[in-house]
Amino acid sequence: MREDPVEMSVAAPVAAPPEPQREALPTAPSTVPGGAPLSLAPPAAGIPGAAPATVPAAKIEIRDLNLYYGPFRAVRDVSMGIAANQITAIIGPSGCGKSTFLRSINRMHELTRHASMDGQVLLDGVDVYSPEVDAVDLRRFVGMVFQRPNPFPTMSIYDNVVAGLRLGGGARKADLDEVVERCLRAAGLWDEVKDKLRAGGTSLSGGQQQRLCIARALAVDPEVILMDEPASALDPVATLRIEELMLELRGRFTIVIVTHNMQQASRVSDFTAFFSMGEDRAGYLVEMDRTARIFTNPREKLTEDYVSGRFG
Partner 1 sequence: MIGAVPARDATLAERLRAGRSPRRRAVDRAGRGLALAATLACVVPLAAVLFFVVAKGAGALNLDLLTKPAKALGTGGGALQSWLGTVQMVGLATLIAVPVGIAAGIYVSEFAGHRAARAIRFASDVMVGVPSILVGIFVYVLLVLPFRQFNAFAGSVALAVIIVPVIQRTTEEVLGLVPRELREGSLALGVPSWRTTLSVVLPTARAGVLTGVMLGVARAAGETAPLLFTALGSRLVNIGGFGEPMDSLTLFIYNGARSPIAALNDQAWGAALLLLLLVLGINVSVRLRSMGGVRA
Partner 2 sequence: MTTLSRPTRLPARRGPRRGDRAFAAGTRWAGIAIVSLLVGIAIVLAVESWPAWRAFGTGLLTGTTWDPTRDIYGAVPFIVGTLATAFIAVVIAAPVGLLTAIYLAEFADRRLATPLTFTIELLAAIPSVVLGLWGIFVLAPLLRDTLDAFVIAALGWIPLFAGPSYGFGVSTAGVILAIMILPTIVSIGREVLRSVPAAQREAMYGLGATRWEVATRAVLPYARSGVVGAVILGLGRALGETLAVTMVIGNTDAIPTSVFSQGQSIASKIAVTFNESTGLQSESLVGLGLILLAMTLLLNAAARLLVARTARGPRR
Task: Kindly state the smallest distance separating residue 132's Cβ from partner 1, in Å.
Answer: 7
Amino acid 54 reads T
For 311, phi then psi, to 5°, come to -155, 170
Contact partner, 126, from partner 2, partner 1, none, Cβ < 5-8 Å per class? partner 1
Q: Are 275 and 90 in contact (CB under 8 A)?
A: yes
Least separation in angstroms between residue 141's CB and partner 2 is 8
Using rule CB under 8 A, residue 30 touches partner 1: yes
3-state secondary structure of 193: helix
Angle, CA of 61, 132 and 135, to the nearest 5°: 70
CB of 289 to partner 2, least distance (A): 29
Report whether 58 contacts 81 (CB < 8 A): yes
d(CA 95, CA 229): 13
Residue 200 and residue 60: Cα distance in Å, rounded? 36
Report d(CA 7, CA 194) in Å as an integer.
Answer: 41
Nearer to partner 1, 89 or 128 (CB): 128
Contact between 1 and partner 2 per CB under 8 A? yes
**73 secondary structure, DSSP code:** E
> What is the smallest separation between the CB atom of 67 and partner 2, expressed in angstroms?
17
Whether 98 contacts 89, CB under 8 Å: no
| Residue 19, amino acid | E
Helices (H), 49-116: 98-105
Which of 74, 133, 184, 212: binder of partner 1 (CB under 8 A)?
Answer: 133
Q: Write out the binding residues for partner 2, residues 146-175 only, by CB under 8 A.
A: 146, 148, 150-156, 163-164, 166-167
171 binds, among partner 2, partner 1, none (CB under 5 to 8 A by kind): partner 1
Contact between 131 and partner 1 (CB under 8 A)? no
* Residues near partner 2 (CB under 8 A): 1-3, 106, 108, 111, 113, 136-140, 143-144, 146, 148, 150-156, 163-164, 166-167, 200, 202-203, 213, 216-217, 220
* Residues near partner 1 (CB under 8 A): 7, 10-11, 13, 29-30, 123-126, 132-134, 136-138, 140-141, 165, 167-172, 175, 179, 221, 223
